[in-house]
Amino acid sequence: MVAAVAETPARLTAKPSWLLNQVAVYAHRLASDSFSEVGARGYHYRILAALDEFGVASQADLGRRCNMDRSDVVAAINELAEQGFVERTPDPDDRRRNMVTLTKKGDRQLRRMDRALDKVQEDLLGPLSAEDRQTLTWLLTQLLEHHQRT
């Protein structure tokens, strides 16, 4: 990445927005490659993590929690259900709505994905000290929370 920055116009490399975008592209590629090694995609991780943390949820709730479009949620849940990682059942209070539950097999897949993503963090943040990693995470969280409010 250093060579790319050195060959890029200074007016770009001086802009945090440009740097964030470049690092995000790299991070996305690392995560996608790592998830594919365990037969998964980023959307799968979002859904499995939400189910693990918050419990049974409707497809609509998962879409909101995971910041995913409705059609992407349905497609990802279909893939996860086919692999036995989630179960989808009609909501007893509203038969038009499906409720999604994490299975034991899905929990094992989530743990595999956690390990894969941990390796991505190490690769992505390798040059940073533990303190710098915490600072970066804090700063990015502040930016994200600010822009989610506005």
Residue 61 lies in a domain: yes
CB 12 within 8 A of CB 18: yes
CA 79 to CA 84: how far, in whole Å?
A: 9
**Residues with Cβ < 8 Å from 103, sequence gap 6 or more?**
84, 85, 86, 87
Token pair for residue 68? 């995913």
Residue 118 lies in a domain: yes
**Number of domains comprising the chain:** 1
Residue 5 lies in a domain: no
Residue 26 lies in a domain: yes
pLDDT, tens digit (0-9, with 9 covering 90-100), for 64-114: 999 999 999 999 999 999 999 999 999 888 888 999 999 999 999 999 999
Residue 134 lies in a domain: yes
Residue 107 lies in a domain: yes
* CATH number, residue 65: 1.10.10.10
| Alpha helices per DSSP H over the chain | 2-6, 10-13, 16-37, 42-54, 59-66, 70-82, 104-125, 130-149
pLDDT, tens digit (0-9, with 9 covering 90-100), for 120-134: 999 999 999 999 999
Q: 105-136 burial by CB neighbour count: b if 16+ within 10 A, else e? A: ebeebbeebeebbeebeeeebeeeeeeeeeee
Residue 4 lies in a domain: no
Which domain, by its residues, includes 72? 15-149
pTM tops 0.85: yes
DSSP 45-86: HHHHHHHHHH-SEEHHHHHHHHT--HHHHHHHHHHHHHTTSE
Residue 2 lies in a domain: no
